[in-house]
Each structure stands twice: as C-alpha cells, then as structure tokens.
Structure 1
Amino acid sequence: MQEQAQERARQRDTVDDIVDQWARARPELDSGPMALIGRLRRYNLRVDSALREYFAQHGLDTSEFDVLATLRRAGEPYELNARGLLKSAMVTSGAITNRVDRLSAKGLVERRPCESDRRAVLVRLTPEGKDLVDALLPGHVRNERRLLAALDRDEQAQLDALLKKLLVAHGDIERL
C-alpha cells in the first residue's frame, strides 16, 4: 500500500506542467510556492465537489449540512443564536439567514425567541434535523476518509499539523 502511495507521489500532475512552463518563461523565479498553493487549490476543488455530491444525494448543500452539524455538535438542546452560527460558519449574517430559511422550509430547524434576550432568536434542530445529521455523519466521514486514502495515518497527521501551523500563522485562532 505504501509503495503504491509513493509511486503515485512520483507521478507527474497538472501542477508539474504549470511549474515547468513557469520555469521556461521565468527561470529566475522560485515556483515552489506556486506549486504548493496550486495543489492546495486544486485539491480543495476536488474535496468541495465530493462533499457537494454526497450532500446533494440527501437533498442538502454543504452549507446547509454545516449549519445542521454546527447545531448538532453544540449539544442538547441543539440550538444556537445567530452569533454562534456566524462564528462557526465564518460567513455573513445574510448567508446564515438564507441557510436557516432553507433548512426551516425543509423542517430541519426552527427559530424560537430567546427567553433571556427578546431581541435575539435561537435556531434549533428539529427532531427530523437531528435524525438527518446523525444519519449522514457516518457516510460523510467515510467520504472524507476516502478523499484522504492516498495518505497513511502518519502522513495524514503530518499534513494536518502542517496545515494547522499555516492557519495559526495567518490568524485562524478564534475559538468557538
């Protein structure tokens, strides 16, 4: 298995061709950063596509699943205010409102007034929403495992640590 992974790593990819083109066009430039960022971007597109496909099979998009999963992992009673959802999703309040509207129309979440702040609204998973996220989670994890299967567990841990180091260095340190 490891030999196959090493052989795949030795194979050329599209980014190698791009780097070669830059080496011919601008040989004085170090294209190493272009190669790494290019591979990260290309792989991210493949991951996004695989996640979209999985969730679409179940009538959701990835942003809707993100809201459901955020509420589920919040623990009972599986509810958060808009600020809590925003902090987790890193999108605009309008985007959260649209996601919650779609999920509410599907009967997967409900809005309810906050007892301690009458201006605030809480978003809560319905029993159907909880059942759906619980049913989808094992397949989602299998899908992600499949996407990482070219790396053994040690390589996955190394990549995870390196990506975390980059994220922290660029300010992604806000805690949920």
Structure 2
Amino acid sequence: MEPDEVDAMAARWKETGMPASLIAALELGKRVSRLNLLFEQAVKAELADLGLTYAEFDVLAALNRAAPPSHRMKPSELSRALFLTSGGISNVLQRLAAAGYVEREANPGDARSRWVQLTDKGRRMAAAALEASARAYTEVAAGVPEEAVRTAADDLREVMSRMGRRRFR
C-alpha cells in the first residue's frame, strides 16, 4: 500500500510524542473527511448537471424513501433527518416547490404544521438524482477492490457504533 498525505502527518505527530491511540484517531478522522469530500465533490458535479444542489438532492432522496404509501414528511422531520436548520429546510423546500418537485399540504392533525411530498415531477427528478449519485459513487470507488470497500464499510460501522453514541456541546 502506497503512503498518503495522512501518513506524512502521522509521522510528524509521532515525532512530537503524541500517543499512538490519538494518532490513529486523527488518521481516521482525516481519511474519513477526505473520502467524504471526494464523494461529495463527485455527487455535486453530477447534481449540477440536473440543476440541483446537494441539499435539494438530500430532501428529494429523503422524501423518496419516506414511508409509503404517502411518501410525505413534515419539514421538522426533514430538518432532523438531514441535520439542516429549520430555516435551511424552509429555503430548500421553497426552491423545490418553485421547481414543481414538492408540494405542501395542510396537516389535519396539527394546524401548525404541514406535510411535504414529492410531485410526479419530483419523483422523476429524485430517481434521476439517485442515478446520478450512484454514478458518482461508482466513479470514485472505481479501481478499489469490492472486498476492500466492504471491509472498510463494515469496520466503519463498528467504529460508528461506539463513537456515534457520544454527544458533544
């Protein structure tokens, strides 16, 4: 395996006397961040061809996978699921509604909230965007043995199952 930029950082960290466990955690964080950036840049390039932002794609995908048969969600549910602020969700929903991809309807069970769901046009765009995302992920992962990707994904699940329980201020 060929050394990468993170290995050079790790060598310098080791020279300073940093504990091996901290170096390993820093290497993990740096590599996960860089890998996420590669995937995100590739997906954003594909989505740009469709005229979508990454946030718009996230909302379309979340609504697409929402529980059948209605495939609808409240804006507050979208906000929590996608780690977006209520203002951020509101802006994205306005753009998607203006494009004809989503529609909002009153929630008879709660006059203070509304339901958001995909239109037929929105379902078609969600499908196209999911295909574009799949292309991007395939391109980024090209040349990496499937077994290595599977092993990394499984190992990261183990790490996340332990680290993901922590709450920070």
Normalising to structure 1: TM-score of the pair?
A: 0.81
Aligned to 2:151: 158
Displacement of 1:28 after TM fit? 5.1
- SS state of the match for residue 57, structure 1? helix
> Tell me, which stretches of 5 or more residues in structure 2 are unaligned?
none
Aligned to 1:49: 41
Among the aligned pairs, what percent are the same residue? 29
Aligned to 2:28: 36
Verify the 8 A CA contact 2:57 2:129 in the aligned structure 1. Answer: no
Change (3 A) 1:105 1:27: same
- SS state of the match for residue 123, structure 1? strand
Counterparts of residues 12-161 of structure 1 (less than 5 Å)? 12-24=3-15, 26-27=16-17, 29-30=19-20, 31-74=23-66, 75-161=68-154
Displacement of 1:153 after TM fit? 2.5
**CA distance in 1 between partners of 2:5 and 2:164 (Å):** 30
Equivalenced residue count is 163
RMSD across aligned positions (CA): 2.1
**CA distance in 2 between partners of 1:35 and 1:80 (Å):** 38
Q: Which amino acid aligns with 2:127?
A: D
Aligned to 1:5: none
Normalising to structure 2: TM-score of the pair?
A: 0.84
Change (3 A) 1:150 1:36: farther
Structure with the bigger RCO (C-alpha within 8 Å, sep 6+) is 2
